[in-house]
A and B are shown apart, each in its own frame.
Chain A
Amino acid sequence: MNFDAFGLQAFLMLGALLFVCGIICMATKRNAIGVLMGVELVLNGANINFVAFSYYNPTFRVEGQVFALFVIVMAAAEAAIALAIVLNYYNNHTSVDVDSAEELKG
């Protein structure tokens, strides 16, 4: 088996595994912070793909890493704002169950 192809595809498969775990986590967790963890898993799966392509394709040597850095910063911002919303919701309802958040409908 070709080492390069094996390496890239193995990294892509691991990224896909993290992505799917995040999707299942978002779908099944009823705790709002659990949903947030699912989002983090999805972003990490995408990041693994970016960095793997940056290693195995020299054209994207800088691009993949720069995009991965942007994703990391975006994830930090997203976690901050999501936790603020969750805390605000918990202050009003004393619950973090996403099933009971029906009042947020517009």
Chain B
Amino acid sequence: MTLFEILFWIAAALTGLSAIMVVVTQNIVRAAAWLLFTLAGTAGLYFLLASDFVGAAQLIVYVGGTLVLVVFGVMLTAQGPFVNLRTGAGEWVFSVLAGIALYATLATAAWVTAWDKSEPQEQDAARSSNIAQIGMALTGIREATPEGSITGMPIKPGSPPRSRWRTAYLLPFEIVSVHLLVVLIGAAYLARAKRRKAEGATP
């Protein structure tokens, strides 16, 4: 076993077991805690896959932002210590059976498909230009992958030259930015306290 595999199994066990515990546990606070371990394990997998910027974004945005938001939601909607919203046994059985069938389908598809076995190039996190590539792609300065095409299939030598797709992501980046701004304004509008109207209604 190489170091890569050992690290993968550690991170995968952390992620998978925590994900299962999120489903199994009935206490919503514990589910939030298990979700924290799932997200942290996923960030470890990203670092393992030499995607350091995505891993850092996962830690900062997901673990530091989204999960804190969820925990605040749990606290603000707490219904007393002993109120549990339990699920019926019949629903459990049906859901788990459907989930096992779905996982069997997905795992079979992932296992049987002959994936493109291109050698993953050596990634040295200290010297890689990974973040620079992502930044260039997001600002649209150049084509993200000059040799790549939209479908990812290698271009045959005899085929006519493809039109020059600019596979950079300036426009999606801007759309995502404006989308996030609009969504946060909308969330603040939706969740605002409506005290004034209630006081006006009551004599």
How many residue pairs between the two chains, A and B, have CB atoms under 8 Å in the bound complex?
Answer: 239
Q: Is the CB of B137 within 8 A of A66?
A: yes
Q: Is the CB of A33 within 8 A of B70?
A: yes
Map CB proximity to B onto A51-89 as digits: 1 under 8 Å, 0 otherwise. 110111111111111101110111111111101111110
Q: Is the CB of B145 within 8 A of A63?
A: yes
Q: Is the CB of B187 within 8 A of A80?
A: yes
**Contacting residues, chain A, for B61 (C-beta < 8 A):** 72-73, 76
Rounded to whole Å, the gap between the CB of B86 and the closest CB of chain A is 7
Subset of 30 A-B contacts with CB under 8 Å: A13-B110, A19-B102, A21-B22, A21-B99, A24-B96, A27-B98, A28-B91, A28-B95, A31-B85, A33-B73, A36-B73, A37-B22, A37-B70, A40-B39, A41-B19, A41-B35, A54-B51, A55-B49, A55-B123, A57-B118, A60-B152, A62-B137, A76-B61, A76-B62, A77-B183, A80-B183, A80-B187, A87-B191, A90-B77, A97-B85
**Chain A: residues with CB nearer than 8 A to chain B?**
2-5, 7-14, 16-25, 27-34, 36-38, 40-41, 44, 47-48, 51-52, 54-66, 68-70, 72-81, 83-88, 90-91, 94-97
**Chain B: residues with CB nearer than 8 A to chain A?**
2, 4-5, 8, 12, 15-16, 19-20, 22-23, 28, 31-32, 35, 38-39, 42, 45-46, 49-51, 53-54, 57-58, 61-62, 65-66, 69-70, 72-74, 76-77, 79, 85-87, 91-92, 95-96, 98-100, 102-103, 106-107, 110-111, 115-121, 123, 130, 133-134, 137-138, 144-145, 147-149, 152, 167, 169, 172, 176, 179-180, 183-184, 186-188, 190-191, 194
